[in-house]
Amino acid sequence: MKVLITPRSYGKTDPVVFDMLKDAGFEIICNNTGGILKKEQMMEMLRDCEGIIVGVDPLDADVIASAPKLLAISKYGVGVDNIDLAAAEKRGIKVSRTIGANSDAVADYAFTLMLGLARKVLPIDAACRRGDWKKITTLDLNHKTIGIFGLGAIGKLVAKRAQGFDMRILAYDVFWDERYAAEHQIEKSDPDRIFQEADFISLHLPLTPETENFIGQRELSLMKPTAILVNTARGGLIQDDALLNALKENRIYGAGIDAFSEEPPADPSWFALDNVIIGSHCAASTSGAIQNMGRAATENLIRDLSQNH
């Protein structure tokens, strides 16, 4: 049986995952292009495969249709917006995710972005390298208000970290965990209240038709001029052009964006701003998270394929 591995970080810190697949009798095909596979590449490489461990590469209905032997899809991560779940279900293809494997890493990175922006770490570093040793006044996190959109595994860990900064925590989630919220002093809030009151906003929503363009010009206009927006979830949650204009006009204090609608962003003006920290969709890229995701994705694929034979 052939399996396709598309994530570039798979096995990088834990090569035992390749042995796990080989010991299970699988022939491994790897993505050696150095980048995210395009649709045509996916169709070619997946054609004779029964299983796939996939990152953010496209697995739409056309790609799935081009792989008549495909029996199992193992997501290397949790977001499945790149997978046509209806097409997979129609074919009886099992789809799994590595829930919780990278949650701590992403929560840590969300706070890394908040701290970096609030304390202007990059502008201060750049000024010092130019020989400019003046002191720059920045913002506090301690005792501020954080708004969390999406109180799932990662959002909950962000809330726990916020408690360490004695922050007031507002959150919004359509599936509200009343017990967890009560235990961690999290206030249930509607979106507009969060936009208006939060000093820091952290996005941890899935990308769905309901959440696409969740933040646009209207929502940005509600935010404080001292507010910081962080997205370590999915590109498409924010209207990139609206955010870019808000940053150019200093209508908010800053933004930390690890996921764009188009990666990398095509507009070069993003890279000229000093009030944005840009990530390459790398919030989950720690050695520990990569190992956790690799093992979980491998175990999921082996389990699902073994049930079909």
Instruction: Evaluate whether 248 touches 299 at the Cβ level (below 8 Å).
Output: no
Strand partners, 37: none
State pLDDT tens for residues 80-125. Answer: 999 999 999 999 999 999 999 999 999 999 999 999 999 999 999 9
The enclosing H or E element of 52 equals: strand 51-54
pLDDT tops 70 at residue 138: yes
Which sequence positions are flagged as catalytic?
A: 234, 263, 281
Break the chain into its structural domains and give their ranges: 2-101+287-307, 139-278
pLDDT tops 70 at residue 215: yes
The enclosing H or E element of 255 equals: strand 254-257
In terms of Cα–Cα distance, which of 306, 300, 302 is closest to 100?
300
Cα separation, 212 vs 207, whole angstroms: 6
Structure tokens given for 223: 């935010």
State pLDDT tens for residues 230-264. Answer: 999 999 999 999 999 999 999 999 999 999 999 89
Structure tokens given for 281: 């969709």
The enclosing H or E element of 171 equals: strand 168-172
Instruction: Evaluate whether 14 touches 295 at the Cβ level (below 8 Å).
Output: yes
Cα separation, 102 vs 12, whole angstroms: 15
* Average pLDDT of the residues in 39-62: 97
- Residue-level pLDDT at 13: 87
Residue 308: which pLDDT band, with cuts at 50, 70 and 90?
confident
Q: Distance from CA of residue 152 to its chain's centroid?
A: 13
* Average pLDDT of the residues in 158-168: 98
Choose the CATH number for 139-278 among 3.40.50.720, 1.20.120.160, 3.40.120.10, 3.30.1330.10: 3.40.50.720
Structure tokens given for 111: 């706070």
Structure tokens given for 47: 């054609």
β-strand pairing of 27-30 with 51-54: unpaired
- Residue-level pLDDT at 37: 96
Residue 309: which pLDDT band, with cuts at 50, 70 and 90?
low
pTM for this entry: 0.88
Instruction: Evaluate whether 201 touches 230 at the Cβ level (below 8 Å).
Output: yes
β-strand pairing of 51-54 with 2-5: parallel
* Average pLDDT of the residues in 119-147: 97
Q: CB atoms < 10 A from the CB of 127, how many? A: 15
Could you give the 3-state DSSP secondary structure of residue 277? Answer: strand
Q: Can you say whether the dihedral through the CA atoms of 58, 60, 64, 70 is positive or negative?
A: positive
Cα separation, 15 vs 214, whole angstroms: 39
Question: What backbone torsions phi and psi does residue 174 show, to the nearest 5 degrees?
Answer: -70, -25
Assign domain 2-101+287-307 to a CATH class: alpha beta
> Max CA-CA distance within the chain?
68
State pLDDT tens for residues 178-200. Answer: 999 999 999 999 999 999 999 99
Cα three-residue angle 236-240-244, rounded to 5 degrees: 160
Cα separation, 159 vs 171, whole angstroms: 9
Cα separation, 7 vs 18, whole angstroms: 13
